[in-house]
Amino acid sequence: MHHLLNHLVNQVDYRQDELVDLLKELIQFKTPAPPARNTEEAQQFIDSFLQEKGLSTDKWDVYPGDPNVVGVRKGTHSDSHRSLIVNGHVDVAEVNEDEAWVSDPFTPFVRDGQIIGRGAADMKGGMAGALFAIQLLHDSGIELPGDLTFQSVIGEEVGEAGTLQCCKRGYKADFAIVVDTSDLHIQGQGGVITGWITVKSKETFHDATRKDMIHAGGNLFGASAIEKMTKIIQGLQELERHWSVMKSYPGYPAGTNTINPAVIEGGRHAAFIADECHLWITVHFYPNETHEQVAREIEDHIRAVANGDPWLRENPPVFEWGGSSMIEDRGEIFPSLEVDYDHDAVQTLIQSHQRVQNEAPTVDVSPSVTDGGWFGDAGIPAAIYGPGSLRYAHAVNEQVSIEQLVEYTKTLLTFIYEWCHTEKE
């Protein structure tokens, strides 16, 4: 078996140019999100690619113009051997017209051993490596005992969670590997949730009445919703500082759990006292926390702040959490993901990396977020493992090292082969 695996791994070196060309082809599909609704052509290419490699495919629209694609290669002994999901997103970060790219972001090229183009690091490099591993298994005529599922999803860049839709559609496995940007680290992640806090007056007042609200003897029980929101922002800052002191997680710098007041909207125009104000916040939390838990902590704290203010007590803040899309409803959720170091699949991945790289991998937590949390949320053990550095993700002249891409593909191929040959206990 190991002789056959060695032959497969060596094929990555021999056919390196094909791997590079595959990544270039994926980059040429213009799939930035926003604006999104532009992945149909890329997903059709991946759908056809998977069918040609012997996988049965399932393609459906999550949004018009943005379909998911799932390919399944049934194992020869599915009942007795481990199954695997390999997951990645086909959308890439947006590109602004005034960015100083050395050439068209969607016309990739090689310079100094780097493939440059939008999505090279995040995460079409990981997608290319995974697809090429599937191609090599097919070309070598190798049958896997366990089931192999490949998911090409949409919407990760804008919180539309194509991966969540795969989970809801019933796709499961004994383990999932998310081939997103990790610089070949094996990673879990914290989570992110956005929320809106609204302060709204029960009454609306003319600007000329402000003096009666703020001066002694005015006898008008009113307030500016914008000014009252500043008290809530101060309350959020107090809670953020409390979290930074009282909470921690191995591998995370202290204070990584933050509450960011990102956007504020309020008031009608200058002739009115502001009777409504909305604050959009982004909350980062640790891998051992849930978005429901941190939302509840924020609500409890801010309600206590409001109860200490005579006007807010009568006009309490309203909370709205999460959302299914930063584009459609200006909200998102990325659940956290804890990696079980002792899980058989994680140990197999560690051994696969060590076999190819001749050194132990780094097992840590991502400073960013991916769709990986949706697997943990669905009860599927998972880890993030992909090529590319976050230094280049979303950056002008985004790039990935060809050498790292090749080593990654070897490791992923080894892991797929070994895990899908592992018998269930």
Closest by CA to 62, choosing from 137, 150, 155, 131, is 155
Q: Is 240 a catalytic residue?
A: no
Residue 60's DSSP bridge partners are 68
Give me the torsion for CA of 31, 37, 39, 44, rounded to 10°.
-160
Closest by CA to 317, choosing from 308, 304, 306, is 306
Neighbours of 395 (CB within 10 A): 15
Please give the chain's pLDDT, 425 residues, in tens.
578 899 999 999 999 999 999 999 999 999 999 999 999 999 999 999 999 999 999 999 999 999 999 999 999 999 999 999 999 999 999 999 999 999 999 999 999 999 999 999 999 999 999 999 999 999 999 999 999 999 999 999 999 999 999 999 999 999 999 999 999 999 999 999 999 999 999 999 999 999 999 999 999 999 999 999 999 999 999 999 999 999 999 989 889 999 999 999 999 999 999 999 999 999 999 999 999 999 999 999 999 999 999 999 999 999 999 999 999 999 999 999 999 999 999 999 999 999 999 999 999 999 999 999 999 999 999 999 999 999 999 999 999 999 999 999 999 999 999 999 999 98
Q: Is 91 a catalytic residue?
A: yes
Judged by DSSP in three states, 294 sits in helix
The residue from 156, 157, 275, 371 that is catalytic is: 156
Give me the torsion for CA of 291, 85, 184, 35, rounded to 10°.
-60
Q: How many residues does the chain have?
A: 425
The residue from 47, 58, 91, 160 that is catalytic is: 91
DSSP string, 130-184: HHHHHHHHHHTTPPPSS-EEEEEE--GGGT--HHHHHHHTT---SEEEE--S-TT
pLDDT at 145: 98
Report residue 275 as tokens.
């009777």
Q: Read off the pTM.
A: 0.94
Cis peptide before 123 (omega within 30 of 0): yes
User: How would you write 325-371 as a 3-class SS string?
Assistant: ECCCCCECEECCECCCCCCHHHHHHHHHHHHHHCCCCCEEEECCCCC
pLDDT at 1: 58
Q: Go through the domains of the chain in sequence order and give each one's CATH number.
A: 2-189+337-419 (3.40.630.10), 191-321 (3.30.70.360)
Query: Is the sign of the CA dihedral 86, 185, 347, 140 positive or negative?
Result: positive
Q: Which amino acid is at 412?
A: L
DSSP string, 393-424: TTSTT-EEEHHHHHHHHHHHHHHHHHHTTPBP
Task: Evaluate whether 242 touches 234 at the Cβ level (below 8 Å).
Answer: no
CA distance 314 to 306: 9
Please report, for the chain, how many H helices and E strands are present, in that order.
12, 16
Residue 264 phi/psi, 5-degree rounding, is -130, 135
Report residue 190 as tokens.
């914290």
